[in-house]
Structure 1
Amino acid sequence: MMQAIDEDDFEPAPPRRPLFRRKRVLIPLALLLAIVAAFLALRTPDTDRDAMIAKYGGANATFAAGPAGQHVHYRDQGRRDAPAIVLLHGANSSLQTWEPLVKRLGTSYRIVTLDLPGHGLTGGTPDKEYDADGMIAAVDVVAARLDLDHFILGGNSMGGWVAWRYALAEPGRVDALLLLDAAGMPLRKGEKAPPSNIGFRILQYPLGRWLATQITPRSLIEESLRGSVAKQGIVDDAMIDRYWELLRFPGNREATVLRARMDREPAMASRVGEIKAPTLILFGKQDRLINPTAAETFHERIAGSEVVLLDGIGHLPMEEAPDATAAAITDFLKRRLAAPPARPETR
């Protein structure tokens, strides 16, 4: 027998909690918090300006003030009464890279090295001019400070690019040109771009460029250095620390990102044949950042130039093979910049 059921005997069931909605909110929030925590844990701040000047410049660190507010760090070493050689370092490097050559050439030449804008102890500059014109201006600032109206000019990688651009802009001031694994030549027909190192590959992407201003792990610097040289034995703790700490000098990481987006004016390579100064082109045969065949391109375009290729050497010949590099430079300069014979009445 069925019993009548009064609808009032039932209580409505409590509403089911929308768990799936809470998960849709909590999971992304947790992920976001994890990303923020990881970013804060990995973030590497700038180094302290004064501490870096004391460590890498010493008590006698010298700076030349420029009209655009630059304070260009430089060193003036070697024989003051000898011909001057001005040397320009590569991207994300510093004047420290030339110290092995200073020791070997300083007894015969006056050696001037400088930290280009956005590098080393020069750091970021107020005008943020990190293109060829900005780099050339820094060379002029130091040359004016030292009263150098002409000099031998050399550069490695990006510094080599600045050097040959300077020779085009100021031909009367460059007595000779030294291009060490210099940048700026186009790929040859059928040639592929070199693999480069991880640091430069990261800068190819917008996110990578932003992260490069915030996160700079020491391990990344070590990997980039090892990808740049063939002689791995030169990459020691002191070298890694130097590149890592100076890259984080105030303004340098921002400059690195701005340079990555800069127009390198590749069409200028077609003008390199205008250079008349005696030119030495020295490359490491195992360079993995710039194809060593670029040496041949430079040689074909610069009349009277000479080429030296070093076996077993990568992108930094002045640090990987300072003896061979110094010997090649000395031989070239002695032959190509020989003093004219004395006039009869003064012999």
Structure 2
Amino acid sequence: MIKGLGILVLAVFAIVLVGWLALLRPDIGYDRLEAKYADAASRYIDLPGGVHMRYRDQGQAGGHVLVLVHGFSASAQDWDDWARILSPRYRIITLDLPGHGLTRAPARWPANTDSYADLVAQATDRLGVKSFVLAGNSMGGGVAWDFALRHPDRLQGLVLVDAAGWAPPKSQQGGAVIFQILRNPVGRAILRDIDTKPLIAQGLKSAFVDEKLVTPALVDRYSDFARAPGHRAILMALQTGDRREASYAVLAAIKAPTLVMHGRDDHLIPFANGEAFARAIPGATLIAYPGVGHVPMEQIPDRSAADLDAWLRTKVWP
């Protein structure tokens, strides 16, 4: 009986090992990624710490400047619709943070909201942009309000789109499966080297609400960018690194005109967090979107861009 049990354990181990090996996915080189995803607007700058950043600088060269920062595991492409709609009126700068998109960085680059905020300051300095309106979605929203605290003299306005930052209550459960796994160190170790496309697809469906918008091409883009050299290490490190948490005392120091945009049906960052940002930041304006999830700029680009444009022309650049 003991011998039979040992054979069974070995058989199960062999099956798991074969399954693991079948799911392993190697890095995708930047040459291949750039050939597939770079476009005519893509540009690159070298920044401190070995960062080779991809950015886009579109729209009106002499116009008011909007800098747009993407969320976790996303990229500059998330802002394509806003850039298209708003570029006739504004200068639009989108960028890929280290660990994301086509930006190259060492695998041990110290990624957190503070370092990302400082990198946005360095990148805009290099581009000759001294002051601007900064918008961020999700993790990028956390970078944006952190920037407002670290570099207040640079900011003409702040836009938080389903922004991260408030600590979730200990009792909070649910959300995208991939984020539940990433909260666990064993889960992070397992996900680091395997094919995560099914989990990415589930996470995107949670974010968009309208599942028709989650196309195979969108899932491929997220999956491909995550497999760029060094990216998986940075993405995993983001789950455990230091981060500044939002609080009423912290956010009260923000003086820039602020617009909070939040989907009422966001399954990743609840609408209550958007309401909290609007209450905590003096004079902030809140726009709620019923039936909309985590990425209003992609789910309802025309309506959300029009709302942003109206706010900018009323509160920032009348």
Q: TM-score range by the shorter chain?
A: over 0.9
Deviation at 1:58, TM superposition (A): 3.3
Contact 1:279 1:305 survives alignment (8 Å) = yes
Alignment of 1:208 with 2:187, yes or no, is yes
Deviation at 1:122, TM superposition (A): 1.1
Which among 245, 255, 259 is matched to residue 224 of structure 2? Answer: 245
User: One-letter code of the match for 1:150?
Assistant: S
C-alpha distance in structure 1 between counterparts of 2:313 and 2:166, whole Å: 27
Deviation at 1:23, TM superposition (A): 4.1
Equivalent residue number for residue 257 of structure 1: 236
C-alpha distance in structure 1 between counterparts of 2:175 and 2:137, whole Å: 15
Unaligned runs of 5+ in 1: 1-19, 340-347
Equivalent residue number for residue 28 of structure 2: 47
User: One-letter code of the match for 2:144?
Assistant: A
Deviation at 1:264, TM superposition (A): 2.1
Change (3 A) 1:277 1:205: same
C-alpha distance in structure 2 between counterparts of 1:149 and 1:236, whole Å: 38
Equivalent residue number for residue 156 of structure 2: 175
SS for the counterpart of 2:268 is coil
Rg (Cα) greater in structure:
1
C-alpha distance in structure 2 between counterparts of 1:133 and 1:298, whole Å: 19
Which among 137, 148, 156 is matched to residue 129 of structure 2? Answer: 148
Deviation at 1:315, TM superposition (A): 0.1
Post-superposition Cα deviations, 1:282-331, rounded to whole Å, max 9, x if no partner, equal 00110001110112211111111101001110000000000111011000
User: One-letter code of the match for 2:278?
Assistant: H
Please provide the CA RMSD for this pair: 1.9
Deviation at 1:30, TM superposition (A): 3.0
Equivalent residue number for residue 95 of structure 1: 76
C-alpha distance in structure 2 between counterparts of 1:262 and 1:137, whole Å: 16
Deviation at 1:338, TM superposition (A): 3.2
SS for the counterpart of 1:113 is strand
SS for the counterpart of 2:149 is helix
Which among 157, 160, 175 is matched to residue 196 of structure 1? Answer: 175
Deviation at 1:184, TM superposition (A): 0.7
User: One-letter code of the match for 2:123?
Assistant: V
Deviation at 1:227, TM superposition (A): 1.4
Equivalent residue number for residue 302 of structure 1: 281
SS for the counterpart of 1:52 is helix
Alignment of 1:315 with 2:294, yes or no, is yes
Change (3 A) 1:310 1:268: closer
Equivalent residue number for residue 107 of structure 1: 88
Unaligned runs of 5+ in 2: none
Change (3 A) 1:292 1:45: same
SS for the counterpart of 2:207 is coil
Alignment of 1:235 with 2:235, yes or no, is no
In the TM superposition, what are the counterparts of 1:56-67 in structure 2 within 5 Å? 56-58=37-39, 61-67=42-48
Deviation at 1:270, TM superposition (A): 3.0
Equivalent residue number for residue 83 of structure 1: 64
SS for the counterpart of 2:162 is strand
Change (3 A) 1:211 1:269: farther
Equivalent residue number for residue 112 of structure 2: 131
Deviation at 1:181, TM superposition (A): 0.3
Alignment of 1:71 with 2:52, yes or no, is yes
TM-score using structure 2 length:
0.94
